[in-house]
Structure 1
Amino acid sequence: MKNIVLGLIIIICFSACDKTLEEVPKDFVSKSNFYNNEEDAQAAIVGVYAGMQSDFFGMNHYLMTELHGDFLFGRGSQAPITIWDQILDQTSIGRCASNWSSLYATINRANAILDNVPGIDDIDADAKEKILAEAHFLRALSYFELVRGWGAVPIKTQESVDLSSIEAPREPESKVYELIIADALTAESGLGEVEGQTGRASKWAAKMLLAHVYLTLENWEAAADKADDVIVNGPYSLVEVEASDDFYKIFAVDTSTEDIMSVHHSETKTSGIPTYIHRGQALPYNYSSSGFFAWLPDTNSFIGDSWDDNDLRKDFNLYTQYQNAEGEWVPLPETVPMLFKKFISNTSGQNVYSVPIYRFTEAYLFYAEAASKANGGPTALALERLNMIKRRAYGYDPNTASPVDYSSGMGAADFENTVLQERGYEFLLERRRWFDLKRTGKVKEAFAAAGKTVIDERLLWPIPEDEINNNPAVNQSDQNPGY
């Protein structure tokens, strides 16, 4: 009887406290007590940027895009990625699954912004428009990575909050690109200037994304127009170069005039890139005690003897000797006689550079390629803008004719190959080469020139097993060939 009475007392007490129990909790964040004001919206968009992780969607994605290039080999556990005449091994398939998850996590965070921020009243109208535009940009950027890596992919434009909302079939690439363009155009119209935060999207970053997408879709005139807009009207300028180390100014965290958008690193925010490309304590490039030197240059490719030693980018990108702990310069061992150099650590073992998403140099090369394609051959301006990048590479004034200029009279095919070669030199280790070869249809040609064979199945990455198992609209028959 005592227990029954005690139970009744407890029930009565809790019934009397209904209003207390219904109070919105203040000690943790949930959807019910978030998205109330501008501070919440700003915190949410920072969370979307955080989804890009340390190096433009994370090191797994960075190494998969880089190690699918024709100019390098992987070492250790990353060696199988660069065996191009075989299907990916299980470890690399797992890396692809991690990349897929990271991209869709970023998309879901962007969708949460787009679903919830429009309903916030306590927010400045301009701030709201900018935050929504940033979400559109980051969603477009994520889908651009997905469609180029995996082909047809599920499209999700609303926040997934539970398992009931994950069903989505693979959509044709054309439909994915429609969403990317729509998002990027919305971003372009809603974003403003950089405002000192080049790690965040601006209208110029949106224009560069559009130029890149249009180039990939062979919409040559639109690509040329967007690139030209950035060149003529953007607040950027080419960094002056007289010696190879001057190129480091391009990747400076706060002072580069070429930085349209990038992932920044500082003494409190580290990146794995120096660890992957350098030996341990390879001064002055890597001050860390660890170093995998897992990405090895292939001198049988376009970065070998055919690369002119007078091109300052060659010495900036590659090295054959380093300083030991005593400060003596020693050659790299015969087994690994050359390493990549572009990204380095500082004396505290941290990183003080930016990993580019888009930089001003690329606008010139976007324009040169697109304008030539649109006109059936290089125009005078297309040739001039290509030459501006080459002149700078040799230490000349980009705006003045030089002895290294490409001459007029090149046909359309030769000009396209020349632009592709300049892009290879300019954007080494910047996540461009593999997708450049894919979109120009030159994967097998470039790999053959480097003495390698690549199978068709490697042109797309595997759909993760988790997606096949958990998404009712995707099954094994939807898997990319060979996996």
Structure 2
Amino acid sequence: MLQLFGACKLDETIYDQATPVNAIKSRSDLEFAMIGVYTHLNATPGFNRDITWALHPYADDLSSIAAFEAGNWGRKALINSGTPFVNSVYVNFFATIRDVHGIIDNINKLDPDADYKAKMIAEAHFIRAFCYFNLVQLYGGVPLVTASVDAGSDFYQPRASVDEVYALIFSDLADAVTNLPTRTTQPAAEFYRATKGAAQGYLAKAYLTYANYLDLHSRSSESAAYYEKARDNAGEVISSGQYQLIADYGALWDVSKEKASYAEVIFGIPHMRDPADLTLSGEGAYYPAHLLPATYPNSTGLPTRAGNGFVRVQPWFFEYYNKGDYQNDYRVEKTFLSVWIDATNKRHVAYPLPFVAADTKEAQAFIVKYVDGAGLSTFGHENDLFLLRLSEVYLIKAEAENELNGPSAVALAAFNAVRARARQANGTPRLTPADVTPVSAGTKEDLRLKIFDERGLEFVAEFNRFFDLIRMRYRNTGKSMYEYQFSTFLPSLTPGLPKVVANAWAGGATEATNIIPYNAKYLLWPIPANQMAVNPKLTQNPGW
């Protein structure tokens, strides 16, 4: 049965009524139904809250000392198959897939003209692929549901293999590439909806991720074909001319210029200040409230006009991007809140930056990408979540080419395009970050780690770090970056938060809630316990 939520920011309009399946009689009804499908993505169990709350602290770059969501959020060691978000995220993606199938059924029943039918089915396929791409990365193989379920259906589907899930993703995205409009031909009323560029960009990302999967599972003889497809599809997005890197990286995060950012943003989750609903189920984003501190004034929609600082930057991570290649990188100051003045005119300075005695010393920096002083409530902010930008497509091309041919001219050109934009700053060019040359690139393994680091800064708090950790290899081994970071690198750091001793920084460089010993089970989330309770054919992931 098709069940739709009633509101979504797609053309800055709030839709109060859902379109039930038996009410779909026309093309207009189909359009409202499609809007309802997108609503799942920015709903509370989706990218409005649960999936981002869950993923950010379980990587290694951000942490949280907040004790909510049954005390489990931000505490990786306490996750289990009964943790609420483990189930809500799973259910929300499958609810989206269910509603996609309802739309496909109605398109076939209404039999509109061939071009419109192909476009709507392609858009449905894009959303289904998007859901399965997230599901397979989080949970591994999951049941493949490819048609509507009714009373005569077999409700108890076993888990498909990872290979089978990716085969469907590739097929769905290929159809979307063929039949979706380009960004510049997309009707204005469909702004924020999927395009050919979004489909091809995600196809490149899915091919790359699957190739990584093959390498990490002793199947490297199969991976080259998928690296080639990733490189080539990324290259076609770049050469299409449909997107461009915004000249000023900082302008991407200016909420007043947000719509203009979609010259670079290929796919994003929209949010809006919704005066009709100031609850958790409204149209707004929570990001400013939880990523900004209470001492940063006029930055959120909270009654105090400042955040609660539930999520903070790991001290080691901010320190890493203040030295070496990234010293004086413009992206650092536009990503991290590290020096600021509070409402009492007191200066705050975060580790490891120099300070004077009168400053308030902060053990952790914060994220400043999401600021909305005009927000209406804790969850009432305008800030979109950019899930795929052109800069990532450049880095996908660089990574795939490097895996095929090492640090070739093609790989370096794609990598350096991202650094060249960073050097432009806000119109006053800088010298850093410098281009990587054939000499400084080193080996294939060296450039792979440089790409990992570049992604680490370029996409902080953009829903990438955890997936990068679990998919990328550490040098030329079967060890993931997740395993390397949590079994080797992070244990080498002094534990605990920084502190000031004798007017200088001392102490540790890690906040403990998500820096725990490596355990392979954390490469996947557990299959939710209540899903296993109702479906006897489901099996649990290793270690859970």
Q: Which band: TM-score by shorter chain? A: 0.7 to 0.9
Q: Does 1:444 align with 2:458?
A: no
Post-superposition shift, 1:115? 2.4
Q: Is the 8 A contact 1:36 1:120 kept in 2?
A: yes
Measured after TM superposition, the shift of residue 180 of structure 1 is: 0.8
Q: Residue 297 of structure 2 corresponds to which residue in structure 1? A: 283
The one of 405, 410, 431 equivalent to 2:435 is: 405
Query: How has the CA–CA distance of structure 1 residues 482 and 292 changed in structure 2, closer, same or farther, with 3 Å as cutoff?
Result: farther
Q: Which has the larger radius of gyration?
A: 1
2:499 match: none
Distance 1:336 1:292, change over 3 A: farther
AA in 2 matched with 1:439: R
Decide whether the 8 Å contact of 2:19 with 2:33 is kept in 1: no
Relative distance call for 1:245 and 1:204 in structure 2 (3 A) is closer
Classify the secondary structure of the residue corresponding to 1:260: strand
Summarize the Cα distance change of 1:158–1:401 in structure 2 as closer, same or farther, 3 Å threshold.
same
Change in 2 beyond 3 A, CA 1:316/1:166:
same
Identity %: 27
Match of residue 333 from structure 2: 315
Quick one: structure 1 residues 182 and 309, their matched pair in 2 at CA, closer, same or farther if it must change by over 3 Å? Answer: same
C-alpha change, 1:211 and 1:90, in structure 2 (3 Å) is closer
Alignment of 1:387-426 (within 5 A): 387-395=416-424, 404-409=434-439, 410-426=442-458
Residues 276 and 294 in structure 1, CA contact (< 8 A), matched pair in contact too? yes
Q: What is residue 495 of structure 2 aligned with on the other side?
A: none
| Alignment equivalent of 1:255, drawn from 249, 252, 260 | 260
SS of the counterpart of 1:73?
strand
User: Which residue of structure 2 aligns with residue 370 of structure 1?
Assistant: 400
Is the CA contact 2:81–2:529 (under 8 Å) kept in the aligned structure 1? no
List aligned pairs for 1:47-62, cutoff 5 A: 47-54=36-43, 57-62=47-52
1:282 maps to amino acid: Y
1:59-86 alpha-carbon deviations (Å, 9 max, x no partner) = 11012221221112122226855555x3
Alpha-carbon distance in structure 2 between the residues aligned to 1:319 and 1:481: 39
SS at match of 2:385: strand
Pairwise CA distance, 1:192: 0.9
Q: How many angstroms apart in 2 are the aligned matches of 1:347 and 1:102? A: 29
The farther-off stretch of 251-260 and 313-322 is 251-260
Hey, what's the Cα distance between the residues in 2 that align with 1:297 and 1:450?
Answer: 14
Work out which of the residue numbers 285, 288, 295 in structure 1 matches 2:311.
295
Query: Of the candidates 402, 408, 411, which is equivalent to residue 379 of structure 1?
Result: 408
The question of 1:266 aligning with 2:269 is answered no
Alignment of 1:202-241 (within 5 A): 202-218=195-211, 219-241=226-248
2:54 maps to 64
Aligned pair count reads 446
Do the aligned partners of residues 267 and 428 (structure 1) sit closer, same or farther apart at CA in structure 2, a change above 3 Å counting?
Answer: same
Instruction: State the Cα deviation string for residues 210-247 of structure 1 (Å, max 9, x = none).
Output: 00110011111000000000101141111112xx7444
Asked whether the equivalents of residues 18 and 33 of structure 2 are also in contact (C-alpha less than 8 Å), the reply is no
Q: Which amino acid aligns with 2:65?
A: R
- Alpha carbons of structure 1 residues 406 and 278: separation in structure 2 relative to 1, 3 Å: same
**Cα gap change, 1:214/1:462 in structure 2, threshold over 3 Å: closer, same or farther?**
same
Stretches of 4+ aligned residues off by more than 6 angstroms: 400-403
Matched, 1:88 2:79: yes
Query: Shift of the alpha carbon at 1:29?
Result: 6.4
Indicate conservation of the 8 Å contact 2:273/2:382, yes or no: yes
Q: Distance in 2 between matches of 1:397 and 1:317?
A: 14
CA distance in 2, matches of 1:385, 1:28: 44
Separation in structure 1 between the aligned mates of residue 48 and residue 255 of structure 2, nearest angstrom: 21
In structure 2, do the counterparts of structure 1 residues 366 and 203 end up closer, same or farther at CA, with 3 Å as the change threshold? Answer: same
Partners of 1:299 and 1:187 in 2: how far apart? 42
Q: 315-324 or 97-106, which moves further after superposition? A: 315-324
Please tell me whether residue 346 in structure 1 is matched to residue 373 in structure 2: yes
One-letter identity of the residue aligned with 2:209: T
* Structure 2: segments with no counterpart, 5+ residues: 1-16, 212-225, 275-282, 351-359, 473-479, 492-514
Task: Return the alpha-carbon distance in structure 2 between the equivalents of residues 413 and 302 of structure 1.
Answer: 24
Q: What amino acid is the match of 2:269? A: V
Q: Which amino acid aligns with 2:532?
A: I
In 1, Cα distance between the equivalents of 2:271 and 2:465? Answer: 23
Aligned pair in 2 of structure 1 residues 338, 29: CA closer, same or farther (>3 Å)?
A: closer
Deviation at 1:111, TM superposition (A): 1.4
Summarize the Cα distance change of 1:159–1:255 in structure 2 as closer, same or farther, 3 Å threshold. same
1:15 is matched with which residue?
none
String of CA shifts for 1:101-148, please: whole Å, max 9, x gaps. 111111111111122211213x34333222111110000000011110
Give the aligned partner of residue 359 of structure 1.
Answer: 389
SS in 2 for 1:356: strand
Structure 1's unaligned 5+ residue stretches are: 1-26
Aligned to 1:38: 27
- Cα distance in 2 for partners of 1:469, 1:119 equals 35
* Matching of residue 454 in structure 1 with residue 518 in structure 2: yes
Deviation at residue 166 of structure 1 after TM alignment: 2.5
Q: Deviations over 1:417-468 (max 9, x none)?
A: 1011101100000111111111112102123323342211111111112211
TM-score by length of structure 2 reads 0.76
Displacement, 1:36? 2.1
- Give the conservation status (yes or no) of the 8 Å contact 1:103–1:142: yes
Residues 396/336 of structure 1: CA separation in 2 closer, same or farther (3 Å cut): closer
Q: Distance in 1 between matches of 2:330 and 2:536?
A: 53
Match of 2:109 among 108, 111, 119: 119
Q: Distance in 2 between matches of 1:222 and 1:250?
A: 35
CA–CA distance in 2 between the matches of 1:306 and 1:325?
A: 30
User: 1:346 is matched by which residue type in structure 2?
Assistant: G
- Provide closer, same or farther for how the CA distance between residues 469 and 337 of structure 1 changes in structure 2, counting only shifts above 3 A: closer
SS at match of 1:67: helix
Cα 1:30/1:420, change in 2 over 3 Å? closer
SS of 2:247's partner is: coil
The answer on whether the counterparts of 1:266 and 1:352 sit within 8 Å (CA) in structure 2 is yes
- The one-letter code of the counterpart of 1:314 is V
Instruction: Tell me if structure 1 keeps the 8 A contact 2:313–2:364.
Output: no
- Higher mean displacement: 58-67 or 43-52: 58-67
